[in-house]
Structure formats: C-alpha cells, structure tokens
Amino acid sequence: MPRDETVESFRRGLDVIRSFDGRKSQTITDVAAHTGLTRAAARRFLLTLTDLGLARTDGKYFQLTPAILGIGQAFLSGLSELEIVRDVLVEVTRRTGESASAAMLDGTEIVYVARSPALHRIMAIGLSVGTRLPAHATSMGQMLLAGLHIRELERYLAQAKLDAFTPSTLTTEPALRQRLAQIRKDGHAIVSEELELGLRSIAVAVADLGTRTRYAVNVSAQAARVSEAQMLSEFLPALQEAAQAIAMAMGRR
C-alpha cells in the first residue's frame, strides 16, 4: 500500500482560505460550516492566519488581508507564460474590438488567468484575473471540459452542480454531454446567453507541449451586436491564430 505523504492540516488550512471566496468576512462558526471543520479547528486556523498577517479580526469577524495575494502572486510570478498569453490577447482585442480572455479549469469552475478588456463593458459582473465562473455555463469552461480525459470528465460530472443562470443554461448531464461531443467535433465552443442574458462568447483551446489542454481563450461580445455567424467568420480565425501563437511561444521557452 503506498505511503500517504500528504499533510492533512495544510489541506484544511487551504480550505479555510478558499471558504472566503465571495465572502468579505466570516465568523468562526461560518468558516466551520463552510469547511466541515469543528469550531475549535476553524478557530485555530483563523488565529494562525491572523498571526501570519494573512487575516485580521475584530474579535468576532475575520477577514483576509491583502497579504494573502502574495500566495497567488507566487504562482503568477512563476508563470511568465501568462505574460505571453496576455500579449496575444491584446492583439485579439485589437483585431476584433472585443474583450478577450484566457482561463484554466479548477475543479468545477474556470479561473481567469489573463484578460484584455474592450473599452465597452459586456457583463454585469466585473471580470479580472482570478475571477471564477461555473465551467458548464461558459464557453471556455465547455471548451476545457471537452478536452478532459473520460475519467476526469466523469469526476467533474459527479461533483458539478449544473445550476441555471438563464433559461438557456445547460442544466442536465445529457445536454452537457451532447454539447461537449459537438465541441470536440467542431474544435470550438460557442455559448449564447447561457451565463448571462445578452452575452455571447466563442472559445478555443490552447494545447501545451503534451496532449492535455491547459488553457482556453475566448472572445466575448454583446449578443445584440454580434451574431453567432459573425463570431464564426470573424472571431474564430483570430482566436485560432492566437491559440497557435501561444502554443508556439510556449514551445520555445
């Protein structure tokens, strides 16, 4: 039997940090409920974070401090390739006049890792590096899901909650499987008003030097201004060239 060399307390500490996603402040009871820890364990982790300067408290509520960004920065600074991705996205925005983004799959969500915003805002929520969105309702998420190995896809489907965000959101496993099969055939993903009404986007995958997909890149636009046909004729070629440029640049590193 292989020896377990993982550190469970470290894993639980990360769970405490992640529990603040979307929450500005929490009590010990809140953290315990969101992580499955006991109140005593949650208290110890929160006090440790406070002692390290990664959190602060008024005696009841705990908040993460800006120092927590240093953990994410350690990741980002080690990925100079993200600078390559952003430079390519800027060119996509120049060509299309629309916002371009790149994301990676993390569990059941995508995480934005690079972005080139257009001058006009297209979503009600603000998007930036680090923004997390549900994979099943986004073009980049569907593109990345389509590239998963069958075992990884089954794991995703076992964990994902296919919540409805609009009447067009895919909320059943058969519907999502059918969409992913079509994406594999087409080589691109188009999502029309599945995450937010009035929003349409198209995405393609960026493969690394191996066979696994690491990034997806997309262009998003207002559905009233840009049709699916226009996305295919104008935006898809720009995205395909961008994906190839990113892959080639990474291959030379």
Distance CA 102, CA 143 (A): 11
Buried b (16+ CB within 10 A) or exposed e, 133-169: bbbbbbbbbbbbbbbbeeeebeebbeebebeebeeeb
pLDDT, residue 162, reads: 96
Count of beta carbons in the 10 Å neighbourhood of residue 211: 8
What percent of the chain clears pLDDT 90, i.e. is strictly above it?
64
Other C-beta atoms closer than 10 Å to the C-beta of 4 total: 7
Q: How many CA atoms lie within 13 A of 59 on its CB side?
A: 0
- What is the model's pLDDT at position 117? 86
Mean pLDDT of the chain: 87
pLDDT tens by residue, 88-110: 899 999 999 999 999 999 889 99
Answer for the pair 140, 111: CB distance below 8 angstroms, yes or no. no
**Tokens 């401090």 appear where?**
65
Q: Is the CB of residue 29 less than 8 Å from the CB of residue 39? A: yes
Tokens of 114: 């690079």
Averaged over 78-92, what is the pLDDT? 80
Cα–Cα distance for residue pair 243/85, rounded to 1 Å = 9
pTM: 0.68
d(CA 225, CA 123): 14
In order of 64, 137, 149, 152, 231, the CA distances from 158 in angstroms are 31, 16, 14, 10, 32
**Per the structure block, which two tokens stand in for 33?**
């409920």
